[in-house]
Amino acid sequence: MIQAADIREWRDQDVVDPKGHKIGVLEAVYVDTTTDEPAVATVRTGLPTRHRLVFVPLDEVLLGPDYLKVSYAKSLVRKAPSIGTDDVLPAEHEEAIFHYYGMTYQPGAGGERQLARR
């Protein structure tokens, strides 16, 4: 797991799938607001003139010398919920990310967001 203190140094590193296929480049990491642990990353994908940020969970992530290996296939990640490169994740779209990957979504008791960008 990526430690919260190491997040900045991994920005702009390649993100690869379990078979080593490049998915894209790490743009940002979102932490779980209840644990402050890295939970989801945005990966910059697409053509240079049409980049978008797709979301991928960081469970079981492996760190290499110049890459992060996620436990999800490139084909699955490429179809994941996404936002534009200048956009912010709307609170109402958080749940869709969790459902897409078959994960449980648990906002705070007062409706607080589960994810916060670092």
Query: Considering the chain, what percentage of its residues have pLDDT values greater than 70?
Result: 92
* pLDDT, averaged across the chain: 88
pLDDT for 36 beyond 90: no
Q: Assess contact for 85 and 44: CB atoms under 8 A.
A: yes
User: Considering the entire predicted model, what is its pTM?
Assistant: 0.88
pLDDT (average), residues 4-8: 61
**pLDDT value, residue 1:** 52
pLDDT (average), residues 8-19: 89
Q: Which of 80, 78, 4 has its CA nearest to residue 39?
A: 4
Q: Mind listing the pLDDT tens digit for each residue in 71-114?
A: 999 999 999 999 988 899 998 899 999 999 999 988 776 777 88
Q: What does 55-90 look like in DSSP terms, one character per residue?
A: EEE-TT-EE-SSEEE-SS-HHHHHTS-EEETT----
Tell me the longest C-alpha to C-alpha distance in the chain: 41
Q: Which of 27, 23, 2 has its CA nearest to residue 84?
A: 27
pLDDT (average), residues 49-74: 91
Distance in angstroms (rounded) separating the CA atoms of residues 32 and 80: 19
**pLDDT value, residue 2:** 56
